[in-house]
Amino acid sequence: MTTAHWLFGDQLGPHFLTPGAEGPDRDAPVVLVEALSVFRRWRFHRAKAHLVLSAMRHRAAELGGRVRHVRSETYREGLREAVGDDAVTVHHPTSHAALRLVRSLDRVTVLPARGFLVPPADFRAWADDRGGRRLRQEDFYHWVRREHGLLMDADAPAGGRWNLDHDNRERPPEGASTLGAPSPYRPREDDIDAEVRHDLDRWERDGLVRFVGRDGPRRFPASRREALTALRRFVEHRLAGFGPYEDAMLAADPVMSHSLLSSSLNLGLLHPLECVELAEEAWRAGRAPLNSVEGFVRQIAGWREYVWQLYWHFGDDYRHSNALRHHAPLPDWFLDLDADAVEARCLATALAQVRDTGWTHHIPRLMLLGSYALQHGWDPAAVTDWFHRCFVDGYDWVMLPNVVGMSQYADGGRMTTKPYTSGGSYVNRMSDLCKGCAYRPTERSGDRACPYTTGYWAFLHRHRERLAGNHRMAQAVRGLDRLADLDELLCRESELGDSPP
């Protein structure tokens, strides 16, 4: 008798049903459980709830008679309703909590994880080989490229260099309000989306759940077909321009040349290997330059994979890291995505993007939203929770290293060598967001002081002792001694408190 196979809502692509020694039985009946408790427990962005439910329901529709699609309060109840006491298989889930759950159920056999490039045993062997040295992302990325033969010419990196970041850190083109890149793929909603929207309205009306943010029209793929269309459109039309302005921000062009593929990858609709192979093919065929292709491969085979491995490597306690002892709660205007309450143009723009779409690219996440939280000493676990709930691509595994480690430096430097934060001059250099702003990036005290500039110096001052011992921060910390207006600056910082800047 074939054993049923359970798919979590982020295991929706065909590679989660490929049979084999480490896969489900051939033609196994499939179980999908929509657990309402997940939506009750957290106040998600409504567009995220919509996307996940739409993707699960699209998968159920594709699988037709093969699927037992259950709507229940909890996973346990749903599984019982779907298969009773029968055995099921499931691929290794993507969070510590879900792994604990499936391991606690006797009749569930946990198969290896799918949807990533590097098996955990290979990562452990690589980490062991480092002999206690820092697990640098750059080293990891070179190793992944070698192991998978990605962008390699024999034993050497294609083009002779591993890292083309130097060509990919451009400021936005002077005077341009948009990059003018071909528009990204946007899906068209269907009857399944209408049903999802109807259910979400009803849940809200009946007081079962509370959401944040605006929902609709759906902007991200909910099926394999849509995700493949988005990938191909990106590679054919937008990849060529991906590299140079990867770190730049433009108020009127939130997407620029970014791929918008994170939610499809994280729902399991796309496999990372197909994304990087298609990008490499485009370079080999002369359709995209190496700096753009290397930049994209680095994000997926480097960063995404590294973050996944670190999540398991650091363990579940990593979420409680708080090296800087930051305990301030998030203010309501931030929790509610109330962009209209914010005067600082850069932060208002990023917050409005999150409110309206559940997405911003990596620099607004790191250098605007995350940086503001870091400068104001917000509790890193609450910041992580906020990112998780408010972003369409947010999942526990990807949030923890990115927010606890990279953005909030709460792990005291296990992931990054320095805190990522800056004054307004960085924002001014890399964007057009300071134009027309009520504040001045170069001013750090007084009524027109840029909140990021004030916040940056106040942050350095607060953590002076710790940061003075960090060779990448020591020079910045010494700069505090040259500030004639430090007291005034700190006064302005405390006056601002947790009101919107």
Q: Which residues lie near ligand FAD (CB under 6 A)?
A: 258-262, 265-266, 299-300, 303-304, 307, 361-362, 365-366, 370, 387, 391, 393-394, 398-399, 402-403, 406-407
Do β-strands 152-153 and 67-72 pair in parallel, antiparallel, or remain unpaired? unpaired
In angstroms, the CA 415 to CA 326 distance is 18
For the chain, the C-alpha Rg in angstroms (whole number) is: 23
Tell the smallest beta-carbon distance from residue 197 to ligand FAD (Å). Answer: 23
Q: What angle do the packed helices 120-129 and 137-148 form, to 10 degrees?
A: 130
Whether cis (ω within 30° of 0) applies to the bond prior to 217 is yes
> Cβ of 254: how many Cβ atoms within 10 Å?
19
Tell the smallest beta-carbon distance from residue 117 to ligand FAD (Å). Answer: 12
Q: Where is 222: in which H helix or E strand?
A: none
Contacting residues for 320 by C-beta, under 8 A, at least 6 apart: 381
Tell the smallest beta-carbon distance from residue 158 to ligand FAD (Å). Answer: 19
Q: Which is nearer to ligand FAD, 342 or 367 (CB)?
A: 367
> Cβ of 21: how many Cβ atoms within 10 Å?
6
Strand partners, 88: 4, 108
> Cβ of 160: how many Cβ atoms within 10 Å?
8
Q: Which is nearer to ligand FAD, 48 or 197 (CB)?
A: 48
Tell the smallest beta-carbon distance from residue 249 to ligand FAD (Å). Answer: 12
Task: Report residue 274 as tokens.
Answer: 């197909």
Tell the smallest beta-carbon distance from residue 287 to ligand FAD (Å). Answer: 17
> Cβ of 332: how many Cβ atoms within 10 Å?
11
Task: Report residue 52 as tokens.
Answer: 């996940």
Q: Which is nearer to ligand FAD, 67 or 415 (CB)?
A: 415
Q: Which is nearer to ligand FAD, 4 or 369 (CB)?
A: 369
> Cβ of 192: how many Cβ atoms within 10 Å?
19
Strand partners, 45: 212
Tell the smallest beta-carbon distance from residue 14 to ligand FAD (Å). Answer: 19
Tell the smallest beta-carbon distance from residue 366 to ligand FAD (Å). Answer: 4
Tell the smallest beta-carbon distance from residue 86 to ligand FAD (Å). Answer: 34
Burial of 97 (0-12, 13-18, 19+ CB in 10 A): exposed
Q: Which is nearer to ligand FAD, 143 or 420 (CB)?
A: 420
Q: Which is nearer to ligand FAD, 82 or 294 (CB)?
A: 294
Q: Are 301 and 284 in contact (CB under 8 A)?
A: no
Tell the smallest beta-carbon distance from residue 391 to ligand FAD (Å). Answer: 5
Q: Which is nearer to ligand FAD, 192 or 403 (CB)?
A: 403
Q: Which is nearer to ligand FAD, 23 or 295 (CB)?
A: 295
- Please name the amino acid found at residue 315: G
Tell the smallest beta-carbon distance from residue 272 to ligand FAD (Å). Answer: 7
Question: Edge-to-edge strands of the sheet including 4-7?
Answer: 67-72, 30-35, 4-7, 88-91, 108-111
CA 68 to chain centre: 30
Q: Which is nearer to ligand FAD, 219 or 361 (CB)?
A: 361
Task: Report residue 247 as tokens.
Answer: 């770190």
Q: Which is nearer to ligand FAD, 271 or 365 (CB)?
A: 365
